[in-house]
Chain A
Amino acid sequence: MNLDNMEFSGASVETRGVLVPGRLSLNNQGLVFRNSKTGKSIIVPPSEWEKTIWMRIAGSYGLKIFTKSGPMYRFAGFKDSDFESLSRFLKKNYQKELKEEDKSIKGWNWGSIKFNGDVMSFQVDRQTAFDLPLSYVQNCTTGKNEAVLEFHPNEDASVALMEMRFYIPQEGAEGDPL
């Protein structure tokens, strides 16, 4: 394997709940994802990377990148065995640590809402249950003890999340950037 260029041909990028297929490369530009339908590329230079996380996505493995400017990227289509070579590559070429995410799989609906750049994260027992890009939120309303998030439906999604409601206790309401 050439350690200065890594390619994943069966990759995909999560776009509003849909995994869009393409080719993912890691090279001197950083992470380059080329959409196989449109030919358009997403380039995320390592200088922009805030945190790189190895995660479970859509029944398989993926890479999640939080950026310094705010947006989060999620790429799917990795194998369990890619972890080692990928983390070695990121360390050697970009001096970045690939962290394994301990995802909450407890199945609970109570926890705490945390914000990280443009991402809202729901933490259960100090573990992430899910991350929600705020750019997907079309409308947000708050009522007594409640926050309602409405999403742009993605026509390409077989099952699209339309709305999410949270119960927010009074004590938690202060400093809520929603």
Chain B
Amino acid sequence: GKEDVPEPKLKRSTVAYRNINNFPTEDEVRELKIYVDRKNETVILPLFGEPVPFHISIIKSVATSVEGDYTYLRINFNHPGSAVIGGKESGSFANPEAQFVKELTFRSSNTKEPGELTAPSSNLSNAFRLIKEMQKKHKTREQEEREKEG
């Protein structure tokens, strides 16, 4: 019987925004930079003019490197075949036909333009730090929720 099938656990926390009116309009979003929305646990990434949200629960890892005049930020997302953190994943891998954004790499200049207070790459280094923090927080909370459920 269908009654025995447990409800798919689609937690409130796995959706970035429910309403477009809650979508941030911060300077970083307008200037097509990376914006880390701590309130909604979401990273907004500029993909050719479009600020695109990615929820923290799908971010697997984040790495940064400095090469010459540029700073790079690489974001890896959970996908089938990737080492899943924290045991069983929710509904995301249920659809075998789904295609996944697996990795995104951004680049920014380390050179301060005249009149600028910071180099453009400070956006990437800040994003790196904030994503790490948010990821840690999110994992701790998930852990606590799992323990509560028993």
Contact = CB atoms under 8 A, between A and B. Distances in A.
Contact of B95 (A106, A110, A165, A168): A110
Contacts of B48: 14, 16-17, 130-133, 136, 161
B85 to A, nearest CB: 15
A130 B52 contact: yes
Interface string A40-83: 00000000000000011111101000000000001010000000
B17 A159 contact: no
B47 A107 contact: no
Nearest to B78: A109
Given A19-B49, A57-B49, A136-B48, A167 B17 contact: no
A167 B51 contact: no
Contacts of B108: 158-160
A97 interface: no
Given A111-B99, A132-B48, A167 B79 contact: yes
B100 to A, nearest CB: 4
A105 interface: yes
Given A110-B92, A161-B47, A167-B80, A56 B100 contact: no
Interface size class of A (residues with CB under 8 A): 35 or more
Interface size class of B (residues with CB under 8 A): 35 or more
Given A17-B49, A162-B106, A164-B104, A58 B97 contact: no
B98 A112 contact: yes
Contacts of B99: 110-113, 122, 166-169, 172
A56 to B, nearest CB: 7
Of listed A109, A132, A146, A163, residue having the most chain B CB within 10 A: A109
A108 B92 contact: yes
Interface of B: 15-17, 20, 23-26, 29-34, 42, 46-55, 58, 72, 77-81, 92-93, 95-109, 120, 123-124
Q: Is the interface of B mostly helix, strand, loop or mixed?
A: mixed
Contact of A130 (B33, B50, B97, B107): B50
Contacts of A145: 81
A110 B49 contact: no
Contact of B101 (A76, A131, A153, A166): A166
B23 A56 contact: yes
B47 A132 contact: yes
Closest 4 CB pairs of A and B: A107-B16, A107-B55, A14-B49, A59-B30
A60 B72 CA distance: 27
A161 B26 CA distance: 20
A131 B98 contact: no
A107 B53 contact: yes
Contacts of A60: 25, 30
B79 A109 contact: yes
A120 B88 CA distance: 31
A169 B101 contact: no
A129 interface: yes
Contact of A57 (B20, B50, B55, B78): B50
